[in-house]
Structure 1
Amino acid sequence: MNPTNIPSAQARLPGSLPPALIGRAQTCLENAVTFALDTQHANGSWAERPEARILDTATVTYALSSTPAGASACTRARVWLEQALPQCHDEFTAAADHWLRLLASSPTPPPLPILPRADGPHARRALLLDGIGVSAGSAGADAQRLLHSTTTALSPDRGRSLKSWQRTMLLALEIIARQTLRLPIPAMTLEALESEQGDDGRFHGMPLLTAVAYLALTQTVPGRASTRRSLSSLLADQQADGTWRFPTFDVWDTSLMVRFLRGHPTFHKYACTRALAFLERTQSADGGWGCTSAFVGSTALASDNDTTGSVLLALANTPHGHRAWPAAAAYARTRQNAAGLWTTWQSSDDTPVPDVVAHMIAGIHSHDAHAVDTGPASDWLRAAYRQQGRWTADWYTFPSYAVTEIAPVAGWQAPESLDAVQRLLDAQNPNGSWPRIHGQDHSSPAATGLAVSALAASGADAHSHSHAIEKAVRYLLDSQDTNGTWIDEQPFMYGPRPFLAAVPVQAHAMACRGIHDLLKPRQGTSPER
């Protein structure tokens, strides 16, 4: 297998940078690798809870507010909510966060805000808020509308072809609507909801989802074991600061850390073998990988194509990858649709997006470029750029992430990639950083590390991007914390869209990537064996 099939950055020796700056960058990277070693878990993974946000904490607080057992937890949560700020990158999230915070803290339910209900993520989140509003009795919430929307979304197979957590949410909201309208609740609907519950009482490891399911259960079958176990899990999942968090993505986080630091001598010696073993061990029976393993929840999430592609890249040219590849190749062929593309999730309502398609192409090519026909998918990526004028990513806000992950697959010298790199250069902030969202002036270490990786890998002459790279490196050096990591002050990972989450371990890996790729020898480094 040819290492050049791996579309990761084979960066240039930074000969155009001042020697003193190169030395500082090397020290910076060593400190960053030390931080990565210190935060690796005994099972070889990296797994860190996302930062707290209003969405999860306010929803759980409201769900627990009607039970005496939740009184103390709600008091602690409300202290945190008093100082929490809404996510204002999107009008929807700003309005939703404001309403949820009021709902969690007010004795009288506030009116449901007027929210856009266009198709897609905004419509699904509006449905969630409608369901919470119906449960609370908020003015503007409409139980009849909720019932119609949920039954329509669940038809014709009662949600069995949807993502499991999406089906869980719809079933819970349907029950809330029926209970409010005083309509019969079919036993099979309650049984279907309860079947989604894990042995630990959680619903797919998500406090937000568990809270909505608990609302449905406590209003209909308050004495049932599933209701009690939901309550217990919610109380157990509250953090020391009074919050509840978005789930941990140990498989995804580990794949990023391996991909972005593999080849560094210290990382190779002390971390890589255990991380690769963890990734091999978490391969699903269907040959793919889910973003969350059973190590951080009672059950692993179903395989998704984005995580599968990223893990394949992490396992490339290793014994672990050789062993995992046959089942992964079969998975890739099975999940490819009639147009030769891949969606993110195994869900009938999902559509292909560029970063996921690129990860699957790159992951396949890093093992056997002839195992799966990826030609139509590569053509689709280039066409997507021409149609939209840029590449966008489904999981992250960073424009630099889309370029860094997709351009190698399209080819760095492809017209679309050259244009994307130039647009990236044009978006650099005066302080040398790149923003988390296109058009913002906020400085993001993670976005900057990804941009440096793209510039280092783009195939330009050594001096072509030297000024931009030098400014970016100085920014990364100056913004590194004393413990070796970086702090991204604003959330950047979508989940659930349009809400964002901040996952520090991911930001660390992305910031590391730029410096690591820049300092790599031209010929690259030997893979872990």
Structure 2
Amino acid sequence: MPNPFAYWLARCSNATTDPAAPLIERQKAVYETLDRVLTRAVDHLIDTQDESGAWITPPDPRILETGLATYALAVTDATDPAVVAGRTWLALNSVSLQHDPLALMIENAIRDIVLDKRVELNLDRPELQNPVLRWRTAMLQALVLHSGQWDAIWSGDADERLAQLRAELADRYDSARRDRLRKWTVIEVAAARLLVEHHVGNAEAVRDSVATIKAVQSPDGSIAAMPVSTAMAALALGVGEPEGEALQRARAFLIAQQHDNGGWGLIPCHGWDTVVTIWALRDHPVFREKCLPRAVAWVQTQQRDDGGFTYSPTLEPDLDTTSAALSALEGLVEPERIERALGLYRALQRPDGLWNTYYYAKDVPADDCVARVVGALNRYQASGAPSTTAATRWLAERFSRGEEFLCGYRNRPHTVETVGAAIGFDHPAVQAAAREVAAAQNDDGGWGQRADEPSCASATGAALSCLVHTGLIEEDALTRALSYLDRTQRADGSWAGPPELLGPRPLLSYVPAESHAVVVTGLMAVAQRHSPCLCGCSVAEHSAAVDGIHLVRNQR
């Protein structure tokens, strides 16, 4: 398989006779570094691809899953080795890696409940008016009640607070099916309701919640393989039906999912991970030969009857993963599969021209999901995809106003890249945001998730992609960024990274395969701009481009 950079490296070796020698000599180190880093990154994917064709990389453990699983298991056996290991992990990893104040409060409270410490909560925060965020704290309140700390926290109005929580959970439980809540959310609601109703002695409500949980429980004992949902189910079953077989199956699943270090993490997202990996590297020649056929074949098996794709095989489809699949699979699958997916967007387009992420009736549009939908559907307008005009206008107006975007990643360069791909990289608001990204490069050559934050590989890759596509990449910035990625790349071709995936909002998780895909997307953006083997243009065209316009130097 030819080296994608062979032409340029060969040209560099003859720089003394080439009329473009000064520029080429300056670029020699860039191409060598890019070749080395990208080759190692692709080799990592070759080495880690599952036999099925997917990439299955468990997210790093975090306090949320570890705390809930440990607490649930301790209800029926506090001496279980899994409980001891979970408590040990929490003690050793007691500092939350979250950034959002509400996420910090949630993780700190769960950790303190498990470690028998006093819990501190402030549920009068303005952001809790958001119904999605309010639900997170309602579940937390149920845990506080079960742990025996309710009166200590709300000594002045404990009864009033409890009555309010009961009413809220009862209403949410009754409306769950009507509103098409995802099944794992239904179980979390049922479990929280059970804990509260058990506290007040409502045996009928307890039996009803137990029946709901058992009806949804999978044969492997889990709730859609979700550690959080399964832990809540196990906790509720331990209270409501402690001698039942359903509890034993839920416990067995949780124990099997525990990491060797004692922690638990987010559900593996190999549907999404595989799709975004294809999307990032589908044009890389070695990846196309070694990985692409099996990866595409596996993704096709994940398409549901309604045309949608899921971010994990045990879950229901969503419009975000489906849009990423449409972009990744363009020209690689039969048109019938594409048409089925397009039909989903026709059926679920809102009256205002937008799309929600999930089928849930009360879901709200998320900015980055709408942007990915727009980008995907724009590829298929000739195939009868629904109009994206209203959604594009909505994105452009919000981005132009500088509103805080509701996104799935805490990675500002990635947000700018995602929105730019939807509304146009030449849009004034995107250009302005990209200039801010360019100015935020750290002294070590990398970028942080936000300006003035420590560098990480995924933000650096996203910044490269953003700046290449907006035409704002400078030679020195590119050289320093590639040097940073070269220095921080591990021996196996991967990178370490901070939590950046939001799930469940507002909590962050680190998912290695997703962050890896973001990094290589940036590397591929650079490679496709500067290597004729990867972008498809002629050597002459590339020579003119590199010699004249592709690198912005000293123009800021």
Same fold (TM over 0.5): yes
> Which residues of structure 2 form unaligned runs of 5+?
1-22, 155-160, 537-556
Matched, 1:45 2:64: no
User: Corresponding residue for 1:207?
Assistant: 227
Say if 1:156 and 1:66 are closer, same or farther in 2 by CA, change over 3 A.
Answer: closer
User: Corresponding residue for 1:149?
Assistant: 168
User: Corresponding residue for 1:453?
Assistant: 465
Once the two structures are TM-superposed, the CA of residue 510 in structure 1 deviates from its matched residue by 1.3
Counterpart contact for 2:442–2:452, Cα < 8 Å: no
User: Corresponding residue for 2:339?
Assistant: 326
* In 2, Cα distance between equivalents of 1:421 and 1:471: 18
Once the two structures are TM-superposed, the CA of residue 441 in structure 1 deviates from its matched residue by 1.8
* In 2, Cα distance between equivalents of 1:321 and 1:510: 27
Render the CA deviation track for 1:9-35: whole Å, top value 9, x for unaligned. Answer: xxxxx9696212211211111111001
User: Corresponding residue for 2:499?
Assistant: 491
User: Corresponding residue for 2:387?
Assistant: 373
Say if 1:338 and 1:502 are closer, same or farther in 2 by CA, change over 3 A.
Answer: same
* In 1, Cα distance between equivalents of 2:176 and 2:507: 28
For 2:40, the aligned partner's letter is N
**SS at 1:185's partner residue?**
helix
Once the two structures are TM-superposed, the CA of residue 208 in structure 1 deviates from its matched residue by 1.5
Matched, 1:137 2:148: yes
For 1:441, the aligned partner's letter is E
User: Corresponding residue for 1:399?
Assistant: 412
For 2:289, the aligned partner's letter is K
Counterpart contact for 1:17–1:470, Cα < 8 Å: no
Matched, 1:264 2:284: yes
Render the CA deviation track for 1:175-198: whole Å, top value 9, x for unaligned. Answer: 111110112334544322222211
Q: Which one has more relative contact order, counting CA pairs under 8 Å at least 6 apart?
A: 1
Counterpart contact for 2:71–2:235, Cα < 8 Å: no
Once the two structures are TM-superposed, the CA of residue 248 in structure 1 deviates from its matched residue by 0.5
Matched, 1:27 2:27: no
Matched, 1:286 2:294: no
Counterpart contact for 1:309–1:360, Cα < 8 Å: yes
User: Corresponding residue for 1:240?
Assistant: 260
* In 2, Cα distance between equivalents of 1:110 and 1:425: 45
Higher percent of residues as helix: 2
Pick one of 466, 482, 491 that aligns with 2:491: 482
* In 2, Cα distance between equivalents of 1:292 and 1:135: 31
Say if 1:368 and 1:17 are closer, same or farther in 2 by CA, change over 3 A.
Answer: farther
Pick one of 433, 436, 439 that aligns with 1:420: 433
* In 1, Cα distance between equivalents of 2:175 and 2:102: 30
* In 2, Cα distance between equivalents of 1:432 and 1:243: 33
For 1:125, the aligned partner's letter is R
Pairs within 5 Å for 1:168-317: 168-186=187-205, 187-293=207-313, 300-317=314-331
TM-score (norm 1): 0.89
For 2:118, the aligned partner's letter is P
**Range with greater deviation from structure 2 (45-54 or 90-99):** 90-99
Pick one of 103, 109, 116 that aligns with 1:99: 109
User: Corresponding residue for 2:361?
Assistant: 348
Say if 1:160 and 1:339 are closer, same or farther in 2 by CA, change over 3 A.
Answer: closer
Say if 1:441 and 1:112 are closer, same or farther in 2 by CA, change over 3 A.
Answer: closer
For 1:467, the aligned partner's letter is D
Render the CA deviation track for 1:36-64: whole Å, top value 9, x for unaligned. Answer: 11011111111111101111111111111
For 1:243, the aligned partner's letter is G
Once the two structures are TM-superposed, the CA of residue 482 in structure 1 deviates from its matched residue by 1.9
Once the two structures are TM-superposed, the CA of residue 407 in structure 1 deviates from its matched residue by 0.3
> Which residues of structure 1 form unaligned runs of 5+?
1-13, 294-299
Say if 1:239 and 1:81 are closer, same or farther in 2 by CA, change over 3 A.
Answer: same
* In 2, Cα distance between equivalents of 1:78 and 1:28: 39
Counterpart contact for 1:456–1:518, Cα < 8 Å: yes
Say if 1:262 and 1:32 are closer, same or farther in 2 by CA, change over 3 A.
Answer: same
For 1:220, the aligned partner's letter is G
* In 2, Cα distance between equivalents of 1:245 and 1:136: 23
Render the CA deviation track for 1:54-82: whole Å, top value 9, x for unaligned. Answer: 11111111111122386211111122111
Counterpart contact for 1:122–1:497, Cα < 8 Å: yes
* In 2, Cα distance between equivalents of 1:479 and 1:350: 39
Counterpart contact for 2:308–2:344, Cα < 8 Å: yes
User: Corresponding residue for 1:58?
Assistant: 67
Counterpart contact for 1:218–1:227, Cα < 8 Å: yes
**SS at 2:203's partner residue?**
coil
Once the two structures are TM-superposed, the CA of residue 259 in structure 1 deviates from its matched residue by 0.9
**Structure with larger Rg:** 2
**SS at 2:129's partner residue?**
coil
* In 2, Cα distance between equivalents of 1:156 and 1:40: 41
Q: How many residues align?
A: 498
For 1:148, the aligned partner's letter is A
User: Corresponding residue for 1:8?
Assistant: none
Say if 1:394 and 1:128 are closer, same or farther in 2 by CA, change over 3 A.
Answer: same
Counterpart contact for 1:392–1:399, Cα < 8 Å: no
* In 1, Cα distance between equivalents of 2:189 and 2:81: 29
**SS at 1:50's partner residue?**
coil
* In 2, Cα distance between equivalents of 1:174 and 1:521: 55
Counterpart contact for 2:75–2:238, Cα < 8 Å: no
User: Corresponding residue for 2:508?
Assistant: 500
Render the CA deviation track for 1:299-320: whole Å, top value 9, x for unaligned. Answer: x2111111001011110111x1
